[in-house]
Amino acid sequence: MNRKPVYLAVYDTLADWETGYATAYLARNGYDVRTVGPTTQEVRSLGGLRVRPDLALADVRPEDGALLILPGADLWDTSSDLAPFARAARAFLDAGTPVAAICGATAGLAREGLLDDRAHTSAVSFYLAATGYAGGDRYVDADAVTDGNLITAGPTEPVAFAREILRLLGVYEGEVLDAWYRLFHDSDAEAYAVLEEAAAR
């Protein structure tokens, strides 16, 4: 199957542990995961990983992708350097292409006004309230939230974040998705058998 690529935003101070479950299982299921930086110059994650982006943000067109993933990063809260990625998220959503944001990226979306009218979550409600956004009444105290084509999650929920992405793109469904989540979130050994049976079909 010829699928559109998934775009993974990468920038200095990105929280590299937040997107690994999602990108690994997207790649294992036929998606080309392409990294997108402010430019194509190398960036460094919070974990010290050096990443040379495949593409610069200016060269990405929403209609060409299946999904834009925005990880957290210190820069979301300490500067306006990542505001172009929040504006890109608006363009993706306007084009009908999904966006998934976790941790500090949710604050970037809040500042951009993208959470004012959508159900969403983040680290805690007062973290987003500090942005001055108008969507506080749409905040949901949950591990991850999907509203239409927008997924949000807090920094401690990379597995739930991935679950919502895998569901939205139809990678796993029903009991298989539930088993995947239970395996990686709860270390449920019985869930592994469900996944093995599904893989053998």
Q: Strand 33-37 and strand 6-9: pairing?
A: parallel
Percent helix, strand, coil in the chain, to 5, is: 40, 15, 40
Tokens encoding 31: 């998606």
Catalytic one of 9, 103, 110, 153: 103
- Is 77 among the catalytic positions? no
For 144-169, b/e burial (b = at least 16 CB within 10 A) is bbbeebbbbbbbebbbbbbbbbbbbb
Q: Tell me the C-alpha distance between 151 and 113, whole Å.
A: 15
Q: Tell me the C-alpha distance between 34 and 191, whole Å.
A: 30
- By annotation, the residues acting in catalysis are 103
